[in-house]
Every structure is written in C-alpha cells, then in structure tokens.
Amino acid sequence: MAQLEPLHINAKKEDIAEVVLMPGDPLRAKYIAENFLEDVKCINEIRNMLGYTGLYKGKRVTVMGSGMGMPSMGIYSYELFTFYNVKKIIRIGTCGGNTKDINVSDLILASSSYSESSFAYSFSDYKEHITYPSKELNEIIINKALELNYKIHIGDILTMDIFGPYVDEDRILNRIPRNLDIIGEEMEAFGLFHIANYCGREASCLLTVTDSKYSNIVLSDEDREKNLNEMITLALESIIS
C-alpha cells in the first residue's frame, strides 16, 4: 500500500488505545471523555472529528467520532485498525426501532447488519449483503448486560445509505430477505463490520433507539444525552471484562 500514514487522524501511534468506542457524533465522544474518563487527552481534531484517550477504571480506552454513514465510518475504522493497531472497535450509536416490542430508549446489540450498499463490493469485491460482528466481543457485551441488569435486544439490523425517516422505509424493508428479522435501522454498522473482518480485527455495534415507526416519541438532544449513558456504561464496562 502506497499510503503509509493516515490522512484523517493526526494522533501519535502511542496515543490511541487498543480498544476504541465510536459514537457517530464527535461531540458525544467529547461528552464521554469529560464525564466517564480520567487523565483524558485530546488525540485528534482534524475535520473536528474529535478523539480522546483516557482511563476508565484503570483501563486505557479511546473514544472517537466516526461521522455519519459508511464512507466516513470506513475511513476512520480502517485508519484505526491499519495505522494504529487498534484491536477492537465498539460502535455506540443511535437507531430507529423497527418492531413493536422495542421501545424508544431501549438498547440493541447487532448480531448482523444487512445493507443494499455497494460499500463492501467497492472496498474489496465482497458481494454479500450481510456482514457480521465479532461473536466473542458480542458475547462479552451480552454477559456484561446480564451482570448490570441491562435489558438489550439482540438481532439483525439494517444499514442504509440514507437517513431512514426521510424515505419510505417499508419500501426498503419489503426487499429484505424474509429470513432476517430487522429490529433496528442505522447508517454505519455494515461498513464497520466489513472493515473489521477485512483487517482481521473485532467490532460490535451497540445502539440506543431514539425513534420508532411504532411510536410518536422522538428523543430530544437533551434526552439523548441522558438516555445514552446506559449504552455508554455498558460499552465501557465490557472493555474491562
């Protein structure tokens, strides 16, 4: 590979931990660093994609935004895995709920991600429309949720190239293979899982439901900050297990 240095992260290699939590919003990374970590250092500010490294209960962890969509997630996850020797990435994001038994504010852990995107085919000629997280990392998160008495829904999610609420989602859902039970919809996980598998690394995706096709409730910015704390705590506790 001709490019020997990352173009979108200006951190020193020793400044990034082996485990990275990735919210979509870089300001959420800042919030996590300021409210959950100790001995925090800002390690990236390029394009305002804020990244921080600090300690959580003595465990070194980096939190960094991924931006919105698979192209952005693909850039940052690839650079982290390839140039910084990151071993694990947990996406901690938001999603829309797609079943009646999942409420706004509930947690979802993706067991797979389905997408109609050409992202993986363009990246490495991968022609399948489904990608998978690390079973081992998912199992750690599941066990930690049980320990903390956190309820999580585990299932297939849909990763789209467009923002779901702006289109007729049912039109897209009706094209999905019937053997999949899509419980949530978002925009990054398919790309993250593919990059992780390509690089031989681990990735998982934890999501908080912020809206649902079966509910009129939509979390406000203030509510999101409060309701995302459970997801953040679960991810952090999982990395120290």
Q: Is residue 101 annotated as a catalytic residue, yes or no?
A: no
How many CB atoms sit inside 10 A of residue 185's CB? 24
Count of CB atoms situated within 10 Å of the CB of 147: 12
In whole angstroms, what is the distance from residue 108 CA to residue 183 CA? Answer: 8
Nearest-angstrom CA–CA distance, 232 and 241 = 15
Of these residues, 106, 211, 221, 223, which one is catalytic?
A: 211
Phi then psi for residue 14, to 5 deg, are: -75, -5
Name the residue with tokens 């504010």: 105
Token pair of 16, please?
Answer: 């990034």
Task: Return d(Cα 4, Cα 1) in angstroms, integer.
Answer: 7
Residues with active-site annotation: 211
